[in-house]
Amino acid sequence: MSVSDHAPIGVLVMSYGTPESLEGVEAYYTHIRRGHPPTEEQLEDLTSRYRAIVGGVFPLRENTNRQVEALQRRLDELGGQGRYVCYQGLKHASPFIEDGIAAMARDGIERAVGIVLTPQYSSMSVGGYLKRAREAAERHEIAFAGVESYHLHPVLIDALAQRVNAGLVKAGVSADEGLVLFSAHSLPARILEMNDPYQDQLLETSKAVAEAAGISRWQFTWQSAGQTGQPWLGPDILETLNGLAKENVNFVLVTPVGFVSDHLEVLYDIDIEAKRHASELGLALDRIQMLNDDPKYMQALADSVIGTVGGFDAKTDTAGKSQP
């Protein structure tokens, strides 16, 4: 490859994306549904969930912006000014993944690393982001290498463990009194037949955090499953809470390990829906503070990006390979 080793490296920081306004929910939802507009009822259901959490700005947009800025600062500190240049690329909203790569091409970037703001790999989540980024990079003749996962990065585990301990302290519960309930976004159950590493990586993250936090009582559960007519991974968090109430657990600290920001699936699905359900069961439910732009999370991201520089040759790139 004829690329100078000192040329700036583009870093495509990818996240799910969120609407810019309540009027933008329909277009966003249509994009998620691969071009099929939602029914009026579906649209009203999603809009009302956003109304419940949005105070003027959509939290995920602000948080993603802050994460990208904070990662840029961390990379400047580690790599020197100008070595890494971050661009944002969203899956379902503007600036889209393809917009981020096009911006790199306009700036003369010749090599790019892509990283997604979720720690665990699934072919249906991170795999989809990286595929779109790689295809756009190929069109612009940018060499591309993707970070597939960082779910056991020691600094990430440390940051999550700290938040678990802080959550227990805040509730006045000792490490062996309350139950820590790790959670992540469900996916269609057919991923299990595809040997997808998603579930294993989520359990690995959960176990490592429990160990680092000194927790003995923990479980993992799914949340935010879609309604598509096909089975999704379970048990769902509401079902899990039913079981815990029967086992006389009285405090649950929800620890979403597949999400890194405050957004709809946390602020609505956990803070409103799961909390209401728990209170009906006589169960106290709290949640850890999300990572957002936590310096330790930024360190884990920066380290993962820097560790991937070198895997550039498109032929030896990790395309399509599933992570152990």
Ligand X SMILES: CC1=C(CCC(=O)O)c2cc3nc(cc4[nH]c(cc5[nH]c(cc1n2)c(C)c5CCC(=O)O)c(CCC(=O)O)c4C)C(CCC(=O)O)=C3C
Q: Which residues bind ligand X (CB under 6 A)?
A: 16, 18, 32, 46, 60, 118, 124-125, 185, 187, 226, 258, 263-265
Contact between 297 and 291 (Cβ < 8 Å):
yes
To the nearest whole angstrom, how small is the minimum distance from the Cβ of residue 269 to ligand X? 8
Minimum CB distance to ligand X, residue 180 (Å): 20
CA 320 vs CA 39, 115, 119, 251: distances in Å: 34, 15, 17, 42
Smaller CB distance to ligand X: residue 143 or 184?
184
Closest among 157, 126, 124 to 12, alpha carbons compared: 126
For residues 28 and 58, give the distance between their C-alpha atoms in angstroms, rounded to a whole number: 13
Nearer to ligand X, 9 or 254 (CB): 254
139 is in an annotated binding site: no
Nearer to ligand X, 143 or 305 (CB): 305
Cβ at position 16, least distance to ligand X in Å:
4
> In the complex, what is the shortest distance from the CB of residue 196 to ligand X, in angstroms, rounded to a whole number?
11
CA distances from 132 to 91, 107, 157 (A): 9, 20, 29
49 has binding-site annotation? yes
Report in angstroms how near the CB of residue 315 gets to ligand X at its nearest.
28
Q: In what order do the strands lie in the sheet with 9-15?
A: 84-90, 9-15, 111-116, 143-146
Measured from the CB atom, the residue of 113 and 290 that comes closer to ligand X is: 290
From 147, 123, 301, select the one nearest 196 (Cα to Cα): 123
Q: Which is nearer to ligand X, 53 or 283 (CB)?
A: 53
Residue (of 75, 111, 99, 161) closest to 317 by Cα position: 111
CB of 294 to ligand X, least distance (A): 17
CA angle 308, 313, 319 (to 5 degrees): 70
Number of other CB atoms surrounding residue 34 within 10 Å:
6
Residue (72 or 118) nearer to ligand X, CB = 118
* Encoded amino acid at 129, one letter: Y
Q: Does the annotation list 185 as a binding residue?
A: yes
Which residue numbers belong to the known binding site?
16, 33, 49-50, 129, 185, 265
Which residue numbers belong to the known binding site for Fe-coproporphyrin III?
16, 33, 49-50, 129
Which residue numbers belong to the known binding site for Fe(2+)?
185, 265
